[in-house]
Structure 1
Amino acid sequence: MRHSDALPTMVNEPSRQRGIGAKSKPGKLKSTMIRLKNDKHLYVLMAPYMVLFFLFTVLPVVLSVLISFTYFNMLEFPRWAGWSNYTRLLLDDDVFLIALKNTIIFAVITGPISYIACFVFAWLINELRPKARALMTLVFYGPSISGNIYFIWQIMFSGDSYGIVNGFLMRFGFINEPILWFQNPQYTLGIIIVVQLWLSLGTSFLAFIAGLQTVDKTLFEAGAMDGIRNRWQELWYITLPSMRPQLMFGAVIQITSSLAVAEVAMNLAGFPSVQYSAHTVVTHLIDYGTLRFEMGYASAIATVLFIIMLGTNLIVQKLLSKVGE
């Protein structure tokens, strides 16, 4: 009798569990609606930014991806072209492959070096007194906001004997005649890399300075009690984990600037450069987008660059998440 009484209870137990599960979903939905209602003023404040972000960031990216599958010359209505733009880009466009190679070389060299340099200089300057820190910050940040900075480098690497570099090398007997720096593919990319590194202490540098200022000083005292004995341990276990938002922001900025280089190459090496020695993905995009008006093909170039940037950012984000472990 007891066994028969227990049997219905055991049989009905799954149904009760299903009933509980079924009720939990409306409960979650209700709690979400209540939370949205309670925080509606926050969403109202966020609405202007979200509208602008959607109109000027999300929507252009989506439209660019869609246009990349069409033939569009700005005069006729876009015609569907399927994967032909990407096939042409990756299989038939030799200049794009040169631009992709130059961009990867440029990014692999300038990206990590400039990122580390931004943090190292910010870390060293942060140790100075406030007035000296402000002065040194301006000195290091100045080149990135100056106006006609390329004029200086054009004088330095001028192709005649009056160029500073040529004059120095000829005076000390390293060369016998001037070198045409920007007309020789052997030197062009290297010079542009040096100039970009000189310009790299920009927004990321300021972000790191700000991040170092916000590190809680009491963490260093707690770390000393937990066994941290030197500045390198403080840097790895306290400073860097406390600066993860700034580190991630700086990584995004440096990745974007290193993969989207164009202005330096165009101003110093010309457009197009000799034998496409300084040709990058962005200059290739400018060529087809603003000169030839092949907007479908230009959108395909932009989409490939966007995928490369997105993938690189995701990899860097995973690496930065392990800082301090």
Structure 2
Amino acid sequence: MNMARVEKQARPKRGLTLNTARLKWQLGEIWKWRVSYIMLAPFFLLFLMFIIVPTVSSGYLSFTYYNILQPPVWTGWSNYMTLLVDDEIFIKSLMNTLYFALVTGPLGYILAFLFAWLIHQIPKRIRSFYTLVFYVPSLTSGVAMAVVWLVIFANDSYGYLNSLLIRIGVISEPIQWLQNVDLIMPVVITISLWMSLGTGFLAFLAGFETINTELYDAGKVDGIRSRFQELWNITIPSMKPQMLFGAVLAVVGSFKVGEVSKAVAGFPSPLYAGHTVILHLQDYAIIRYEMGYASAISIVLFLIIYGLGKLCFTLFSSKGE
């Protein structure tokens, strides 16, 4: 009995000793790599200030009524219930956003990859010129680019597209591109696709440069004869990190659409045909100052993007990782 009592009293001390040793080891590792942590500190501070704190604050405010002028009042799940059950405009904006994302996300991703692959096939001395030509539209703001496209999709006969179609006899009267509720979203999608060759496009170009050229020589020995066979059997499997990066950017970019729709179709657009989740959020945050409800919208959008991002990681991550 005395020996068992002694063992029971010794166990906590032994566990405490192990925890103390583990803590000392962890502190020693931190001190060992202190220079690295110091170099990473600015990023962590900025990430904490501009990502973590706003996300947590938005999550809290989404359960409150907050109009900026008065302190937040806790309302529980009422914002989410109103958003998902009673807010028909939000449902309309969500459907528009999903429609936009399902078209521009995969299509913009495929176009960025194919154009990067085609540019990689041309000689290096002129490769930079073509890269600049395709990349420049993504540097232009959505509003500025929409002003240029407004001339093309103008509703009268002076619009470039209407004028061309009338001249060749396809139509007899101008098409109301930016007033017809069935055509507003296709116009927004067209403009957005023109601007979609951005950072993901550059990531694909960089990925092509990192592929070991010996793999292509080995592929020729194994029977690969065409460029498309090289693309499918060697290039794509060798570019999973860049393809994952491009997929995440495509998902985020397709769900943050708003400025282009506002510039070409107005705010709000006719019958909310071009209304998106971002515009709905701006409506409640900037115009109505209902920050609690706007925070609920942002949290729902965050969860959708996070879920699709996890899906991209599942599709493009290696099995061994």
Fold match, TM over 0.5? Answer: yes
Q: After superposition, what is the alpha-carbon deviation per residue over 1:15-74, rounded to whole angstroms, capped at 9, x for unaligned?
A: xxx9xx979877765554443232121111111110111111111111111110000001
CA shift in 2, pair 1:186/1:56, >3 Å = same
Matched residue count:
307
Quote how far apart the aligned CAs of 1:132 are: 1.4
1:292 has 2:288 as partner: yes
Quote how far apart the aligned CAs of 1:195 are: 0.9
CA RMSD for the aligned pairs?
Answer: 2.5
Match of 1:229 among 200, 220, 224: 224
Q: Residues of 2 paired with 1:179 and 1:50: CA distance? A: 52
1:177 has 2:173 as partner: yes
Q: After superposition, what is the alpha-carbon deviation per residue over 1:165-223, rounded to whole angstroms, capped at 9, x for unaligned?
A: 11122222222211221111011011111111111111111111112112222333455
Quote how far apart the aligned CAs of 1:232 are: 4.1
Q: Residues of 2 paired with 1:45 and 1:126: CA distance? A: 35
Correspondence for 1:36:
30
Q: Residues of 2 paired with 1:220 and 1:40: CA distance? A: 43
CA shift in 2, pair 1:135/1:62, >3 Å = same
Q: Residues of 2 paired with 1:245 and 1:209: CA distance? A: 13
Give structure 1 stretches of 5+ with no counterpart: 1-17
Q: Which amino acid aligns with 2:175?
A: I
Q: Residues of 1 paired with 2:311 and 2:280: CA distance? A: 26
Residues 152 and 159, structure 2, Cα contact 8 Å, conserved in 1: yes
Correspondence for 1:95:
89
Q: Residues of 2 paired with 1:219 and 1:72: CA distance? A: 59
Could you tell me the TM-score, scaled by structure 2's length?
0.88
CA shift in 2, pair 1:171/1:221, >3 Å = closer
Correspondence for 2:139:
145
Match of 2:311 among 305, 310, 315: 315
Q: After superposition, what is the alpha-carbon deviation per residue over 1:256-289, rounded to whole angstroms, capped at 9, x for unaligned?
A: 1101100110000100000000000000001001
Summarize the alignment of residues 4-19 of structure 1 with structure 2, pairs less than 5 Å apart. none
Correspondence for 1:81:
75
Structure with the greater alpha carbon radius of gyration:
1
Correspondence for 1:190:
186
Q: Residues of 2 paired with 1:134 and 1:162: CA distance? A: 36
Q: Residues of 2 paired with 1:195 and 1:251: CA distance? A: 20
Q: Which amino acid aligns with 1:180?
A: Q
Q: Which amino acid aligns with 1:126?
A: H
Correspondence for 1:273:
269
Quote how far apart the aligned CAs of 1:237 are: 4.5
Residues 241 and 323, structure 1, Cα contact 8 Å, conserved in 2: no
Q: After superposition, what is the alpha-carbon deviation per residue over 1:71-125, rounded to whole angstroms, capped at 9, x for unaligned?
A: 0001100000100000000000000000000000000010001001101110110
Match of 1:67 among 61, 65, 71: 61
Q: Residues of 2 paired with 1:32 and 1:152: CA distance? A: 58
Residues 240 and 323, structure 1, Cα contact 8 Å, conserved in 2: no
Give structure 2 stretches of 5+ with no counterpart: 1-10
